[in-house]
Chain A
Amino acid sequence: MGHAIEAVGLVKTFVKTRSLREILLHPFGRAERIPALRGADLAVREGEIVSLLGPNGAGKTTLLKILSCLVLPDAGRAIVGGDDTIHENRVKRRIGLVHSDERSFYWRLSARENLRFFARLYNVPYRKTEARLQELLERVDLAAAADRPFSGYSSGMKQRVAIARALLHDPPILLMDEPTRSLDPVTAIALRDFVTERLCRDGGKTVLLATHDLREAEAVSDRVAILVSGRVRQIGTVAEVRRWGVRDRVYRIEVEGWTGALGGPFRVVGDGTEDGLRRIVVAVEPGTSLHDVLAAIVATGARLRACDEQQPDLEQAFSRIVGAESDDA
């Protein structure tokens, strides 16, 4: 399977606006440049949903803007749908950008009028426009409200119009910038389901989704990429990223007759009673199997009741990755 999006060594700095005082004090001084991307590499396979996670200022929006040809990189290359972003028109035909900004519509027009206007800009064939609008409005469940002014829509409805706009020309690649930012939890879940089920699983779209929300990333993504200080620090499945920086495997085991003594390459990192059951949490060093742990517990005279592996917490993994990048810097 080929790559729908490839970013190689992307570098972008922005010029910091100088205050009047700075200009007066140093009229010939060079303006400070603020790095947004410092060599970002990313590859997204066709049909995949990749979440781009990162703290504020990590460069997520800048990366999306470069991929959507709104900003030119200082160095590096971005290839979208097989074309370098310098071939703007070819790339733009293959992408749809979903903004988080509700203001990106004409509020005095209805959803249908807004979409009709953007359909012209997206080169939707004139004779097919009305049918396409109706199809999309139905797809985002807005057909009944399509002729009401946009200003009267809820945040969830506005976001659905934004998705319909990004789909006008049926692009294979969708770039989404915090699409659930202003939505309530129920609407956000519905939107995530729409993206994963109808756009990706049924529609075969590739989605690159920038978000702050770790739970959202976990819920929708095939893989997550963590962008820190302008570089992609980690990319992998959610399970892989969770395990980043974690050496030991951790098991939660329910036991009876536990004496509290366990030797060998195991550490008991938690011990408590819950609902009358003794639960111990055991960290196991690499190279040791679950069988060895269980055998060692049985050898102490305790009886096993249940056992499951505890997945490392995604938030902690995120903190570790962000922290490691800060230490490197």
Chain B
Amino acid sequence: MSLLLLKLWAFVQRDFLSEVSYRLAFLMQVGGMFFSLLAFYFLARMIDPGSAGLDGIPPFDWLLVGLAFQYYFSTALYSFSARIRNEQVIGTLEAMLVSPTPTSIVIFSSAAWDFTYGAMRVVLYMLFATLFFDVRLDPGSAIALALGVALTLLSSAGLGILSASFILYFKRGDPINFLLSGATTFLGSVFFPVEQLPEWVRPASDYMPIFWSLRIVRGALLKGQALGELQGDLVRLGLLTVVLLPLGLVCSRYAIRRAKKDGSLIAY
């Protein structure tokens, strides 16, 4: 276990050093976060606080959680495949795969920095929001919030690893990202509640991990809901995680074996 943590830390260090070597870009990203919050603040002023699906949460606060976690969820979805593809293109994948570290750990760890950075962004969004936009965060149940975030991480990692499996095998053309990138924003209650959609579309949201994640985070962070009140949402998100994570791992194992057989593991 400690060996795995050391490897994860090595990936985080490597990517952090690369990121900060582009100093201006790093600072501009942080600045960009503030300005996107500002834009959403004024956008939220146009929304009727009594709109269906907001559950009494002020529109800006509701949007803030969607914005912060949508980035986190897309990071999980894209970063595994993007990192693997990048390593293939820059030529470092072969050097990693010839090491005694199992391929599955290389894939899993490759997104460690993106997850860390994603978490830092969530914290930074919340910090900006409380400092400059008068948002009041009231974590009713820290346990529910922690469980919700952990399950969000694992379920989205499952989808991300599934997506990376396609990249390992097909190199380009990843149907997981294609299908989910639009669907999560549309059906996940990210920027508007699903209650605003036609009734026949809404059941599809039940199969979106981000939909349950956002319900849990908004409930725990903005409505002060307790663990018991969020139990149902946590179970649903847990079920999706139980399906998606093993599915991602099994598919990646299959993709690695096929790519080794075809000799295309490091091709791009």
**Interface, chain A (partner B; CB < 8 A):** 12, 14-15, 36, 62, 65, 68-72, 88-89, 92-93, 95, 97, 99, 101, 103-106, 108-109, 113, 116-118, 120-123, 126, 165, 169
A106 to B99, CA, bound (A): 16
CB-defined contacts of A120 to chain B, threshold 8 Å? 6-7, 9-10
17 A-B pairs with C-beta separation under 8 A:
A68-B98, A70-B94, A70-B97, A70-B265, A103-B92, A104-B94, A104-B95, A106-B92, A108-B21, A113-B17, A117-B11, A117-B14, A120-B7, A121-B101, A123-B3, A123-B101, A126-B6
Q: Confirm or deny: B262 has a beta carbon within 8 angstroms of a beta carbon on chain A.
A: yes
Name the B residues within 8 Å of A88 (CB-CB). Answer: 102
B46 CB–A CB distance under 8 Å: no
Q: Are A72 and B92 in contact (CB under 8 A)?
A: no
CB distance from A165 to the nearest CB of B (A): 7
B14's contact among A95, A109, A123, by CB below 8 Å, is which? Answer: A109
In the bound complex, what is the Cα–Cα distance between A193 and B144 (angstroms)?
63
Partner of A89, one of B10, B102, B266: B102
In the bound complex, what is the Cα–Cα distance between A108 and B17 (angstroms)? 8
Q: How far is the CB of B254 from chain A (nearest CB, A)?
A: 13
Contact residues in A for B266 (Cβ distance below 8 Å):
70
* Closest-CB distance, B14 to chain A (whole angstroms): 5
User: B91 touching A101 by the CB < 8 A rule?
Assistant: yes
> Besides A70-B266, A104-B91, 13 other CB < 8 A contacts?
A68-B98, A69-B98, A89-B100, A92-B100, A95-B98, A97-B95, A104-B95, A109-B17, A113-B14, A120-B10, A121-B99, A122-B101, A165-B95
A106 to B14, CA, bound (A): 9
B260 contacts the other chain (Cβ, under 8 Å)? yes
A13 (CB) vs chain B CBs: closest residue: B263
Within 8 Å CB of B97, what residues of A?
70
B91 cross-chain contacts in A, Cβ below 8 A: 99, 101, 103-104
**Residue B90 at the chain A interface, CB threshold 8 Å:** yes
Is B120 close to A, CB under 8 A? Answer: no
Taking CB as reference atom, which chain A residue is nearest B22?
A: A108
By a CB distance below 8 angstroms, the chain B residues around A15 are 262
Q: Which among A72, A89, A99 has the greatest number of chain B C-beta atoms within 10 A?
A: A72
| Alpha-carbon separation in the docked complex, A15 to B10 (Å) | 36
> Once the chains are docked, how many angstroms separate the CA of A88 from the CA of B262?
17
Which residues of chain B come closer than 8 Å to A109, judged between CB atoms? 14, 17-18, 21
Hey, which chain A residues are within 8 Å of B99, CB to CB?
A: 92, 118, 121-122
CB distance from A316 to the nearest CB of B (A): 34
Closest residue on chain A to residue B265 by CB atoms: A70
Is B13 positioned at the interface, with any CB of A under 8 Å from its CB? yes
Instruction: Provide the residues of chain B in CB contact with A123, threshold 8 Å.
Output: 3, 100-101
How far, in whole Å, are A100 and B9 apart by their CA atoms in the complex?
A: 28
A106 near B18 with CB under 8 A, answer yes
Partner of B263, one of A12, A97, A105, A118: A12
Report which residue of A69, A101, A117 has the largest number of chain B beta carbons within 10 angstroms of its beta carbon.
A117
**Given known contacts A65-B263, A72-B260, A113-B17, is B10 in contact with A105 (CB within 8 Å)?**
no
A69 CB contacts on chain B under 8 angstroms: 98
Known: A103-B90, A121-B99. A71 touches B265 (CB 8 A): yes
- B:228-260 near A, CB below 8 Å: 257, 260
The answer to whether A117 touches B10, judged by C-beta atoms less than 8 angstroms apart, is yes
Closest to B3 in A: A123
Contact A99–B94 (Cβ < 8 Å) = yes
A108 to B7 Cα, complex, angstroms? 20
Cα separation A108 to B11 with both chains bound (whole Å) = 15
Nearest-neighbour CB distance to chain A for B21, whole angstroms, equals 4
Q: In the complex, how many angstroms separate the beta carbon of B27 from the nearest chain A beta carbon?
A: 17
Could you tell me the distance in whole angstroms from the C-beta of B206 to the nearest C-beta in chain A?
A: 38
Q: Could you tell me if A97 and B98 are in contact, using CB atoms closer than 8 angstroms?
A: yes
Chain A, residue nearest B19 (CB): A108
A97 → chain B closest CB, angstroms: 5
CB distance from A74 to the nearest CB of B (A): 8
Query: CA A118 – CA B96 in complex, angstroms?
Result: 7
Q: Which of B13, B21, B94 contacts A117 (CB 8 A)?
A: B13
A68→B99 CA distance, assembly (Å): 9
Find the A residue at minimum CB distance from B103. A88
Contact in complex: A116, B10 (CB < 8 Å):
yes
